[in-house]
Amino acid sequence: LRVSVIGAGPVGLALAKAISDAGHSLISISTTDPVRASQVETVLPGVQILPVVDAVTDVDLVIFAIPGDQIRDLVKGLVATESLNRGTLLVHTSADHGYEVFDEALGAGVVPMAIHPAMRFTGFSSIDRARLVDSYIAVDAPRAVLPVAQTLAIELGGEPVHVPSEARAKYAEAISVAGTFTSLIVGQAITLLEDAGIDKPRNLLGGIFRSSLEESLRTGVPEIDPAELFDGDNQ
């Protein structure tokens, strides 16, 4: 496939590298940020950096690696300018939406899909590329093309799991809770050890966090009200 990626943040850069590694032809990446454009030139030398309107022209697959709340307006603009080609696969990477975010473009004959890697991206393409191999990837698409979305997830290195539109809100909430509370708890524990003068607090905590997470995932835990964890003097 001839592929363009819209967005050169951590997600866009990692997926661009993964799609290239899978043997597809990465034609261009679209970004207006000079710092990110420089990163593209370093990680993927020779790939064109184009405006969105040019990036979506004459390609088979367009990956929208941008915040979910920006997708509809961008797609609406591309439809208004008749920039999308019939038969083009449109994929977004937002946890919050299914493929219906592309409804505005269905009249143009595009094929809509949603692919969200359930992982934390670092911005370091080599690390993110490696983590994709161990990740699950939430996919959604019309029934007839769902196997295409699943195949693409596998080519990116992950394990596809179907998350339909009606489950997206709870899925996105779960992803947000997992990421936010992990960062909060790790940060709080590191601060406590640093205040206590403990040497190498991150190394010390690595074992307990990894083992605790693995045990919690293995056994399951009862539902906890987050407010109970941070009330009163514990805030």
Length of the chain: 235
Three-class SS state of 91: strand
pLDDT for res 234: 40
For 120, the token pair is 């934390």
Residue with tokens 């698409």: 141
Strand 111-117, strand 136-140: pairing: antiparallel
Tens digit of each residue's pLDDT (9 = 90 or more) over 37-84: 999 998 899 899 999 999 999 999 999 999 999 999 999 999 999 999
Are 112 and 142 within 8 A, CB to CB?
A: yes
Tens digit of each residue's pLDDT (9 = 90 or more) over 168-213: 999 999 998 888 888 888 899 999 989 999 999 998 888 888 888 7
Three-class SS state of 26: strand
For 211, the token pair is 């083992």
pTM, entire model: 0.83
If you count DSSP H runs as helices and E runs as strands, how many of each does the chain have, helices first? 9, 8
Tens digit of each residue's pLDDT (9 = 90 or more) over 211-235: 887 887 778 765 555 555 445 444 3
What are the Cα distances from residue 176, in Å, to 65, 142, 181, 184, 191?
Answer: 17, 26, 8, 12, 22
pLDDT for res 186: 87
